[in-house]
Amino acid sequence: MKNRFAIMATDERGARWYAVHEPMFGGWCAMTRPDLGIRQEDGDTHTHARANVLLPIVQSALTNFVWSVAKFR
């Protein structure tokens, strides 16, 4: 299985948030791991290169968190 990466942030309580492109919600949104399990979308994870391309887009769209690329586990 290939390594997959997500655009992730951690809030002040230690909860992990994942940036997800969801057209139904108008673009980028932050979701928790249980939310991702409900979605079961392959597009929620990316190659390392793709995640790094998307990172600045997410950072400008979702400014409440400090986003970074992390290995998706």
pLDDT, tens digit, for every residue of 4-48? 899 999 999 999 999 999 888 889 999 998 988 887 776 778 889
Is 80 exceeded by the pLDDT of residue 73?
no
In 1-73, at which residue ranges do the beta strands (DSSP E only) sit? 5-10, 16-22, 27-31, 68-71
| 5-10 and 27-31 beta bridge pairing | unpaired
pTM of the model: 0.84
